[in-house]
Amino acid sequence: MKKRFVAEFRILLVGVCMTFLSACATTGAIDERDPWEGFNRGVYTFNETMDTVLFDPIGKVYDFITPDFLDSGITNFFKNIAQVPVIANDILQFKFDQAVNDTVRLFLNSTVGLLGFLDVSTEAGLPSSKADFGQTLAYWGVDSGPYLVMPFFGPGTIRHAAGYAVDSALNPMFYIDNDLTKAGLLSLAFVDVKSDLLSAVDLLEEAAVDKYEFTKNAYFEKRASKISGNEFADYPE
């Protein structure tokens, strides 16, 4: 899974490089998508610092001590839980065939796949999707709003941030009664994502002159691809 992600990230890098070089041709131009650039760069620096001193080291330790099969199983487990808001957004976007597909995926992976630890649905030929409420808002014509870098969560827009809040409210993990169990699962999910993104961080360090600008352009390109329905299914958020 990680090798596939790295390959797909390299493909995205090529597209973003072309976008970035085009932007550089217009010196001094203000990016209308990013009117809060000063604030956003401050939050980006904060996130980068937190990654460097805390989250990346934790992710590396997690990656080192976790066998590949267990790491894949944990990733599959959290992706399976996330199918609940995906199904809701499929319906809100009138993608009923996709909603049926994702419902069957959720059922199979939750039962035969041992609560999602095994992704038997993909093996059975049922592709995954990543519909979210920000995408749903775009479907209904809501403007994206300004670019916004969120503490800990990274790049987004006002629409994406609102969508993330709704998707979180639909995630079953947030309704676990035991606070310790809930905190443990949420922390594990966060560390698992950070671990999977370590390869992308290394590629970003090698490829980008202005990492903030590069990350922003990568976000908009990936988001446009997702909204148009052409996104890589396994690309992590």
Domain map (residue ranges) of the chain: 2-27+34-228
Closest to 144 in 3D by CA, of 12, 30, 35, 237: 35
Q: What is the pLDDT of residue 27?
A: 41
Angle, CA 235 vertex, CA 41 and CA 132 arms, to 5°: 80
- Which pTM value belongs to this model? 0.80
- How confident is the prediction for the chain on average, in pLDDT? 86
Which residues, 6 or more positions from 104, have their beta carbon under 8 angstroms from its beta carbon?
Answer: 121, 126
Contact 167, 85 (CB under 8 A): yes
Contact 158, 167 (CB under 8 A): no
Q: What is the pLDDT of residue 221?
A: 94
Give the up-direction half-sphere exposure of residue 106: CA atoms within 13 A in the CB hemisphere.
17
Q: Work out the burial of residue 165: count CB atoms within 10 Å of its CB; fewer than 13 is exposed, 13-18 middle, 19 or more buried.
A: exposed
Q: pLDDT under 70 in the chain at which residues?
A: 1-29, 208, 230-237
Q: What is the pLDDT of residue 8?
A: 47
Q: What is the pLDDT of residue 198?
A: 87
Residue 159's CB is within 10 A of a number of other CB atoms, namely 21
Max distance between CA atoms of the chain, in angstroms, equals: 57
Render pLDDT for 40-67 as a digit per residue (tens, 0 to 9). Answer: 999 999 999 999 999 999 999 999 999 9
Q: What is the pLDDT of residue 5?
A: 44
Q: Helix, strand or coil for residue 149?
A: strand
Q: What is the pLDDT of residue 209?
A: 76
Q: What is the pLDDT of residue 195?
A: 92
